[in-house]
Amino acid sequence: MARTVLVAGTASHVGKSTVAAGLCRLLADAGVDVAPFKAQNMSNNARAVPKAAAVGERTDAAAGERAEDAGAFGEVGVSQYVQARAARVRPTTDHNPVLLKPRGDSESQLVLDGEAVAHYAAGEYYDDHWERARETARRAHERLARDHDVIVAEGAGSIAEPNLRHRDLANLETARFADADVLLVADIERGGAFASLVGTVDLLPAGVRERVAGAVLTKFRGDESLLDPATAEVEERTGVPVLGVLPHDDPGLPAEDSVDLPAAGERALAGGDDGVPDERAVTVAVPRLPRISNFTDLEPLAATPGVRVAYVPLDAALDSVGPTGRGADAVVVPGTKNTVDDLLAAREAGFAAELRAFDGPVVGLCGGYQILGERITNAGVESTGDPGTVPGAGLLPVETRFSPDKRVEQATRRLAGVGPLAGAAGRVSGYEIHMGETRPLAEVARPFPDAPAGAATDRVLGTYLHGLFENEVAREAFLGRVFAAAGVERPAVDGTAPSACDRAATLVAELGGALVDPLGLDALAGAERP
């Protein structure tokens, strides 16, 4: 059976995902058969991957083709998708067997083994469904442990929350059923990291405290030797060695949840550290929908030199957003966990009217595509607030009808250069995760001639295909249109922008090298499986 290392945190956003992905890549490059795991994740940034049952023991391309032929895809959190890529294994639902997708009002959709079960309030989930979730996670780990040498598991939040001690699936329960060694991660940039380490170890229940093999400090700037006295005291107080200090270097991992975005009434900018002056850049405005999901779709744009992605509140005036003085040059409406309620919020705040008055390129992705249409029918399937028909923003002549069925699949499609993607040609790959089917109400251009997965006018395009901008042909066509419409000469770019996943995997591998030897994982490199 595989050895499991649980990367657990003293708090949320301390760098667990980064450390886990780095370990996966380091071990994979050293010849170790490694796989990621997160027993329970809470995120609306999900990816479509083959269900483990469809792939079986195979992790190669043929396994994915078999899953695609059977239509057997499910959802996992984006971090586990990235970590599987870092481990050089094909992502499957076993890497994140329990996923909770929040949709507001303390309610989440429960996804088990990649398949949506139902929506539950937090209390109902823990009272009536947690045991089933635990068993689902245990079995997934058992399958991974049978097929790999090392499992790098990621915890959630803090591992030492006394109020969650009896139902902490991602942390305590994983440590127990996986017989895991625990690596504690603390963020030193925020301050209080040493107190957090001491307090975390002290609060851990018996049987888990003894599993802590070491700790790591993340996001440090400066001279590491300044930490030596504090490190020595922590080790003396806890008996836990501090195995390494990782520099403050953001690898660009896709964000796991909307906590990484600005609050609804604030603005934030992505991009801008590329050396391109703002006056030579373009601004892509993204409405900060209350239930925004899969906003990782925007990261390939933000990573492109000369592009600023501005997340704006719904009451923002598009002619005043961004740093260029021109306002927004384009708008991308992202996905949402609850299209109907976010559409109502956008209309009430005036954003739908702003979109209709805007004369630049507009792209709607998944829920954003539905928002751009003429109307949504059978809305009560998704929202209890309005069970009938809800008028859309009216930018595309399409209608979406909701049903309880959920579409989850990976897709590769032939792209036609229409609307904001004018001039593009070739094939693009991505994934779909959505409820509802959308049909045209009038003659409309189709970005994918072989599939009814989108619609376009001269300046507006909607599609269900997540990951569209990870494809160079689509990204370059869109940005070419945006720069041209803005009247800005595009700055020269050396090479093409890598995907967020590849960029993250490359960078995090440089952060975690000091961890492998102290954890004893180096001994597995090159070893033959029994």
Considering Cα of 160, then 163, then 166, then 171, what sign does the dihedral take?
negative
- Which residues 6+ apart lie within 8 Å of 214 measured at CB? 183, 184, 240, 241, 242, 243, 515, 518, 519
Separation in Å, CA 336 to CA 89, 369, 509 = 29, 10, 32
Q: Are 388 and 379 in contact (CB under 8 A)?
A: yes
Can you point out the beta strands (E) in 281-378? 282-287, 292-293, 307-312, 330-333, 335-336, 362-365, 375-377
Dihedral class, residue 436 (left if φ above 0, else alpha if ψ from -120 to 50, else beta): left
> Per-residue DSSP letters for 81-135?
HHHHHHHTS---GGGS-EEEEEEETTEEEEEETTEEEEEEEHHHIIIIIHHHHHH
Can you point out the beta strands (E) in 221-267? 242-247
Task: Write down the residue that tokens 């009808």 correspond to.
Answer: 401
Indicate the SS3 state at residue 266.
Answer: coil
460 membership: H or E segment, kind and range: strand 460-463
Separation in Å, CA 197 to CA 192, 379, 435 = 9, 48, 43
- Which residues 6+ apart lie within 8 Å of 264 measured at CB? 288, 290, 313, 314
Q: Which residues are catalytic?
A: 366, 466
Q: Which of 300, 314, 360, 258 is nearest to 497 (CA)?
A: 300
User: What is the CB neighbour count within 10 angstroms for residue 146?
Assistant: 10
